[in-house]
Amino acid sequence: MVSFDEFGPEKILQVYDPMVGMQGFVVIDNTARGPGKGGIRMTPSVSVDEVARLARAMTFKTALADLPFGGAKSGIIADAKKISIEKKKQIIESFSRAIKSVCPSEYISAPDINTAEREMEWFVKANGAHNAATGKPAKMCLSDGSNCGIPHELGSTGFGVFHATKVASKYINLYLEGATAIIEGFGNVGEFAAKHLKEAGVKIVGVSDSQGTIHNSDGIDFKKLVEVKKKTGSVVNYRPGKVLSSQSLLEIDADIFITAALPDLIKMPDVKKIKAKLIVEGSNIPASIEVEEALGKKEVLVVPDIIANAGGVISSYAEYKGFSHQKMFELVEQKITSQLKIILDDAFEKERILRHSANEIAQERVREAIEKRK
């Protein structure tokens, strides 16, 4: 059941179109700092409760990145794997038209599970407002050629994860040149994080996906791994390397651990198995606060998801403002670097985990915005 507090949610809109079988909802959590920002999740099991929790995370993520956005999220109940492209298009268009009363004035959409740049193009055209969504195709611009889309496929989130790793590593005197890393998930986030880490001199020794883990203590060739994943569908077909279970990735000896796929990945029994000195949460909610506290007691520095993977929403802001792709990457680097330093300094000064400092800073920023608009 959705719970309400000092931050929100401000509005929950449920919509239904029996003609195309569209059933969806938008949760606008907080708009004190600006219109609510958050993606459209399309799954058979998505619920208002799930979307409300994600909307709250967006409220704090946008505040922590110091963006003039609030937090929101939307969901469409549909099995994207079992419907045709035409049917999916009809559903997205119907959903877009149904929420025009709040989009883009109070809610700006973006890609999420089973939605990407193609779906954002459908959404925007049905809505009629160019800024109704971000994550649009690069070819989708205003009539004068400005304000073009910045698709998430450019790798903004993975790029941000890399810079979060770069900043945090300095606080524990870990030099990236020659350091080792393991990466959970080799989708958009994991692949781009791996690319930038490799370019910085980090040796990738383990990578996992849904089919398992490939481990090579001598290092994994990034370009070869990309080709293997593309041709065979899984990293486990890379050679040379030892094939392990997906969960076995957590036990591989490495300095850096990048999470980039599953929620609730690290559970309490896993804490004692982890050998990494630095964990950067490229995925959403890969561990509970209790697990992060236990890792902190082991002197493992954990960079929380609400800042580590904020590259995506920073990219959304760059698109919203009509910035170029180059300017977007510059903004991601600048925002992640400056804001994470604030969190790190606060956490080290108060001798607590980064999550507590991040939450406190985000909440203070939202409270200030709420007071200003009274």
- Pick from 209, 208, 206: nearest CA to 217: 206
Looking at residue 152, what is its pLDDT? 81
- Pick from 83, 3, 100, 99: nearest CA to 42: 83
Task: For residues 305 and 261, give the distance between their C-alpha atoms in angstroms, rounded to a whole number.
Answer: 12
The owner of tokens 């969960």 is: 247
Q: Are strands 203-209 and 70-77 parallel, antiparallel or unpaired?
A: unpaired
Looking at residue 113, what is its pLDDT? 87
Query: Which residues are within 8 A (CB) of 135 and not within 5 positions of it... i.e. 6 or more apart?
Result: 39, 110, 111, 116, 117, 120, 149, 150, 151, 152, 315, 316, 319
Looking at residue 78, what is its pLDDT? 97
Q: Are strands 107-108 and 180-184 parallel, antiparallel or unpaired?
A: unpaired
3 state SS of 269 = helix
pLDDT in tens, the chain (374 residues): 888 999 999 999 999 999 999 999 999 999 999 999 999 999 999 999 999 999 999 999 999 999 999 999 999 999 998 999 999 999 999 999 999 999 999 999 999 989 999 999 999 999 999 999 999 999 999 999 999 999 888 999 999 999 999 999 999 999 999 999 999 999 999 999 999 999 999 999 999 999 999 999 999 999 999 999 999 999 999 999 999 999 999 999 999 999 999 889 999 999 999 999 999 999 988 999 999 999 999 999 999 999 999 999 999 999 999 999 999 999 999 999 999 999 999 999 999 999 999 999 999 999 999 999 87
User: Partners of 303 in the beta sheet?
Assistant: 280
The owner of tokens 């794997």 is: 81
Looking at residue 374, what is its pLDDT? 74
3 state SS of 239 = coil
Looking at residue 373, what is its pLDDT? 87
Task: For residues 329 and 282, give the distance between their C-alpha atoms in angstroms, rounded to a whole number.
Answer: 17
The question of whether 73 is a catalytic residue gets the answer: yes
Say if residue 240 is preceded by a cis peptide, omega within 30 of 0: yes
CA–CA distances in Å: residue 309 to residues 103, 160, 188, 235: 24, 6, 12, 22
Catalytic residue (one of 11, 37, 61, 73): 73
Looking at residue 75, what is its pLDDT? 97
Query: What is the reported pTM?
Result: 0.94
Domains of the chain (ranges; CATH) run 11-62+70-149 (3.40.50.10860), 156-311+341-360 (3.40.50.720)
Query: Which residues are within 8 A (CB) of 4 and not within 5 positions of it... i.e. 6 or more apart?
Result: none
